[in-house]
Amino acid sequence: MASITGFSGAGLFSWGVLTPTCKPGNVKLRRTVRVRAESINPEIRKSEEKVVDSVDLTQLSKPITPYCRCWRSKTFPLCDGSHVKHNKATGDNVGPLLLKKQ
6-45 pLDDT, tens digit per residue, is: 444 444 444 444 445 555 666 666 666 666 777 888 888 8
Separation of CA 25 from chain center: 40
Report whether pLDDT(5) > 70. Answer: no
β-partners of residue 33 are 16
**Catalytic option among 23, 46, 50, 88:** 50
Spatial CB neighbours of 39, under 8 Å, sequence gap ≥ 6? 90, 91, 92
57: pLDDT confidence band, cut at 50, 70 and 90? confident
Q: Tell me: the pLDDT tens digits for 67-99?
A: 999 999 999 999 999 999 999 999 999 999 999
50 flagged as catalytic: yes
